[in-house]
Amino acid sequence: MEAYERANPSDLVRLDEVDPNYEPTACYYALQEKNPVILFEGVKGYEGFRMATNALGSEERLAFALGADQRTSAFDRWNFITGSEGTPRMSEDAPVKEVVITGSDVDVFRLPVPVHFMQDGTRKGFQRYITGGIVASRNPERKEEVNLSFTRIQLIGRGRYAFDCGSKGHFYTYVQKALKKNIPMPITVIIGVHPLLYLLAASFTENEYKKAASALPLTLTEGVENDIPLPAEAEIALEAEVLPESFDEGPFSEYTGYVGLDSTKNVARVKSILRRKDAIYYDVQPSNSNEHVNLFSFPRHAAVQRVTNSVMPPGHTYRLFWPQRASNYMVLGYVDPPQAGLAKQLGLLLLASDPLFSKLALVNEGHTNLSLYGLLANLAASYSPERVEIVKGLYSIGSNPTGTEGTSAKLIAVSSGNASFSVKSDGLPVKLLGGGQVLLAIDTAKTSQGIINIRFPSDVEKADEDTLAWVLATRVKPDEDIDIRRDGIDIDATRAVGEIPQLPPEIISRVRGRLLREALKNQRSFWP
């Protein structure tokens, strides 16, 4: 944190004491447009702790964490790190062991774990979730393998937590093996480490410690209760063990921007708490916050770009962009110079190279501005029915809001040119105008004003470009909600797919008032 503040002082906002009940999340969303790192200098009711959030909420901070400079793109740097290995140093001199709590003194409720949204954990009434915890574990069949993964962690007792470990990663496989063989499964939750370790833990790779050691001077230390090494510079660690029990954890505000109901329902017993004396509790904002999306999408995007560059025909430029709020379900791209069939081929590759997520691929023939409005305007200006294709029954991640039993219909739309357009909007409806006609019409009512018509959900307050990307990516079932006509396209984006996470209105009002007073007092602005 100190290194980043020295390098980018204007990108960090320091605030005084924060109440962990909703306030960290309300502060983040109040400042989301400016998107800073936020450091709270104290936590109400938790003496000796500070709290930080949103360290990886921007592309610039991702590059900084990876050590990328102007000559090296973040993708190139990431691909180098994930293809390299180093040797971590071992040391007993570890700041994370400045405070060691074991046995009956263990109490996870003494950590400043926030309540993020009103719906979180309401199934059983335990609302506090650790979201910035990396889980270190050993492969039960090959003990020399130490893996880092992400889980969401719900505190359910002084020495117990429930967790969801997904169903696609190494950690899930390890847990299933251990439970099936009825053997102990030690795990260590690590909070507050170098951002590179967070990215590696979210990337479905292996040997994360060795990969991290190829890029930074990583020092590990032995555990106190578990035979699992952990970063010596970590802020906090919980040494635990998976129990052969089940707990109906959740619901929780997921990366899709909706309240997720699914859980693997696992339980762990905490054996020790290790931490620094002046620990910074690191919190990743849930739902489709900038950092939550970045953590899981950046490694995938780097892999897709690498595959694209390696298998698509040479002699062309292939540029890709993933709208942030679309949570990886939408990808925009162009091929330059254009060649017959190449843009559609790129669209097929994009769906195939990211089979869990990519659902809507919009690809332009020729250089263009990679924005959603820009691609839709190009599609409308060059439209013919043959340019839009829907493929049914493809594999998809289970949390896809419009998926069906692990499958989804997916769409490829090919446009051309670089249409000029103007945006006419006063709330809703929204129109993109170009060439004397309505290219795109967005309204809550069914409309046929434009070449592309989108029926927008009435429960979503604004129809800006980012929100439109989210709505299309999460509320449209391509094979049922898109009508491809001879002279245009009608899209019904009003499908009900889940509950949107909510904050108490009084908390939002209180936080915005506090930020306004802070801005006036220090003659600074928290908003662009």
List b or e across 488-512, with b for residues whose CB sees 16 or more CB atoms inside 10 angstroms. bbbbbbbeebbeebebeeebbeebb
DSSP state of 21: B
Residues for the chain: how many in total? 528
Report the DSSP pairing between strands 133-139 and 185-191: antiparallel
- Predicted pLDDT of residue 454: 97
Kindly write down the DSSP assignment for every residue of 211-227, as one continuous string. Answer: HHHTTS--EEE--SSSS
Q: State the CB neighbour count (10 A cutoff) for residue 313.
A: 10
Per the omega criterion (within 30 degrees of 0), is the bond before 251 cis?
A: yes
CB 394 within 8 A of CB 351: yes
DSSP state of 279: P
Inter-residue long-range contacts of 275-278, CB under 8 Å, 24+ positions, other chains counted: 275/96, 275/98, 275/99, 275/235, 275/236, 275/237, 276/95, 276/96, 276/98, 276/99, 276/235, 276/236, 277/48, 277/98, 277/99, 278/48, 278/50
DSSP state of 473: H
DSSP state of 407: E
Farthest-apart Cα atoms in the chain, separation: 74
CA distances for 482 relative to 216, 393, 494, angstroms: 48, 16, 12
Alpha-carbon torsion angle 212, 213, 216, 221, nearest 10 = 100
Tokens of 258: 């909706």
Query: Tens-of-pLDDT digits for all 528 residues of the chain?
Result: 565 555 565 689 999 999 999 999 999 999 998 999 999 999 999 999 999 999 999 989 999 999 997 667 899 999 999 999 999 999 999 999 999 999 999 999 999 999 999 999 999 999 999 999 999 999 888 878 899 999 999 999 999 999 998 766 788 888 998 888 888 899 999 999 999 999 999 998 889 999 999 999 999 999 999 999 999 999 999 999 999 999 999 999 999 999 998 898 999 999 999 999 999 999 999 999 999 999 999 999 999 999 999 999 999 999 999 999 998 999 999 999 999 999 999 999 999 999 999 999 999 999 999 999 999 999 999 999 999 999 999 999 988 999 999 999 999 999 999 999 999 998 889 999 999 899 999 999 998 899 999 999 999 988 899 999 999 999 999 999 999 999 999 999 999 999 999 999 999 999 999 888 887 776 666 665
pLDDT tens-place string over residues 459-509: 998 889 999 999 999 999 999 999 999 999 999 999 999 999 999 999 999
Per the omega criterion (within 30 degrees of 0), is the bond before 528 cis?
A: no
Degrees to nearest 5, angle at CA 509 with 470 and 425: 40
